[in-house]
Structure 1
Amino acid sequence: MSEPTEIATRTPEDGVSVEEGTKRGTVTTRIPSKPQTALARRLAEVRATVPTWTASVDVDVEELRLLLPDVEGRPEPIDAVVAAVGEALRGHERVNGAWRDGMLESWSRANVALAIDLDGGAIVLPTLLDADAATLAELAARRRDVTARAHDGTLRAPDSAGATFAVVDGGSDGPDRFDAIMPPGTGAALAVGAIRRRPWVVGEALVPRHLLTLTLTADHRAIYPSHGGAFLRRVAGLLEDARPLLGR
């Protein structure tokens, strides 16, 4: 049997080339955008040069989901996660820091980079400054603002500056659990899985509850499991006992 004939059709104006008749079927090749290329390069550098470890915790967010609709500013669960992360960073300076040029560096501000997926086309990481001091309504408003500007292309480099930690939200249609890669210059990132209804022990009973899995990825040179574990427990506690967090 003769090999299929390869026919290449190129449309350089939109950066897409199509090759037909290959053994893999039709091959479509797209030139990534500059932000996509820059992000891919930075993440590859982090993965290749930073020794990391990961740990996960399941969080009961049943109370959080019931209380959020009554909070001013219509915050969503991800806003509560950012608020909890900001507050927890204040008491865990090793997590709010990084390994830099052979030294341990920590920071006084809790600035959370929030990963925003632009419909699968690219990921940007605008920074929510001083997440420990903002109210939940303020964080929700900031997230909506940077999300809108990310999608309409008006984010600027200063919007992504100064991050001390990163939060990567998989979204409601995303995986229950996944690992994130921290942005260059930070020491840790938190992956936020989708909220799912699962069996959970409450007292002596096994009952259905809405659970959220948080997975921390940390630079082992700066953050040890003892540091990261305590940080994860603090974040989980703030989300499970949600009234003080929602009322701040």
Structure 2
Amino acid sequence: MSEPTDLVTPSSDVSVTEGTKRGTATSRIPTRTQTAIARRMAEVRATVPTWTATVDVDVEELTVALTGDARLVDAVARAAGLALLRHERVNGAWRDGRIETWSQANIALAVDVEGENIALPTLFDAGTQPLAALAARRLDVTQRAHEGALRAPDSAGTTFALIDGGPDGADRFDAIMPPGTGACLALGAPRRRPWVVGEQIVPRTVVALTLTADHRAVYPSHGGAFLREVARLLEDPREVLAA
């Protein structure tokens, strides 16, 4: 997904004011980047047999403990990176009739640029980087994505993808993984929900994590174990928060 991040709005928008039950129609010519994204996502949907699974995760303790520039998405990236190193099949892909896995967890972070483009800069080596370093990288690439200053090396070497719906997004959703990866994780918006703690039902901050995986490379047994590991790391965040 390292296409040029051109955000130029075409000047050839066409408005049709003819009478219609649908009102005025506006036709927009997409940018080269939008066309490339549409083509690649359509190719993934058409050629990759995927399955999805979701777990709900109590992140109350984690969100209270976050400090500095670190945000929930950084903690999820850190937990996913740790889990990918422990579940190598999820950190891989189907390539040329073979299952290829990698020793380093490089997570592509989806960045929505003004609703006009999706950039996928890489959080390199997320399995070993401390949370503060991941937060700093996320801030840097997000800013440069909005400035149109990302370059091809910024999005190189991805082994997995993380798509953050944002605090105002859907509670849960499934995402389309980028070409070349075998799985991606969608992070739903955190919500206050009733949760069982011990023998009591109490309000907690909960997020839904949805894994989309290529069934050729990642089976439900692999993906399920990975999701449970990510959930465990987030619910007991000591390892995620460790320097």
Give 1:3-82 correspondences, 5 Å limit.
14-23=11-20, 24-69=22-67, 73-82=68-77
Amino acid across the alignment from 1:112? I
Q: Give the CA deviation at 1:21.
A: 2.0
- Single out whichever of 26-35 and 54-63 deviates more from structure 2: 26-35
Counterpart for residue 3 of structure 1: none
Give 1:94-243 correspondences, 5 Å limit.
94-243=89-238
Q: Give the CA deviation at 1:176.
A: 0.3
Amino acid across the alignment from 1:31? I
Structure-2 separation of matches of 1:186 and 1:14: 35
Does the CA contact (< 8 Å) of 2:51 and 2:213 recur in 1?
yes
Asked which structure has the greater CA Rg, the reply is: 1
Amino acid across the alignment from 1:55? A
Aligned residue pairs total 234
Give the SS at the match of 1:21: coil
Give the SS at the match of 2:24: strand
Amino acid across the alignment from 1:237? R
Structure-1 separation of matches of 2:15 and 2:176: 32
Structure-1 separation of matches of 2:12 and 2:76: 38
Deviations 1:103-129 (A, max 9, x none): 111011100000001121111111111
Q: Give the CA deviation at 1:193.
A: 0.1
Structure-1 separation of matches of 2:76 and 2:235: 11
Structure-1 separation of matches of 2:192 and 2:10: 47
Does the CA contact (< 8 Å) of 2:164 and 2:188 recur in 1?
yes
Structure-1 separation of matches of 2:153 and 2:175: 23
Q: Give the CA deviation at 1:243.
A: 2.1
Structure-1 separation of matches of 2:19 and 2:85: 56
Deviations 1:77-127 (A, max 9, x none): 000000001111101110000111111110111000000011211111111
In structure 1, the gaps of 5 or more residues are 1-11
Structure-1 separation of matches of 2:156 and 2:16: 40
Give the SS at the match of 1:120: coil
Counterpart for residue 7 of structure 1: none
What is the aligned-residue RMSD (CA, Å)? 1.2
Amino acid across the alignment from 1:25? G
Does the CA contact (< 8 Å) of 2:172 and 2:209 recur in 1?
yes
Q: Does 1:245 align with 2:240?
A: yes
Question: Percent identity of the aligned residues?
Answer: 67
Q: Give the CA deviation at 1:13.
A: 6.2
Give the SS at the match of 2:17: strand
Q: Give the CA deviation at 1:183.
A: 0.4
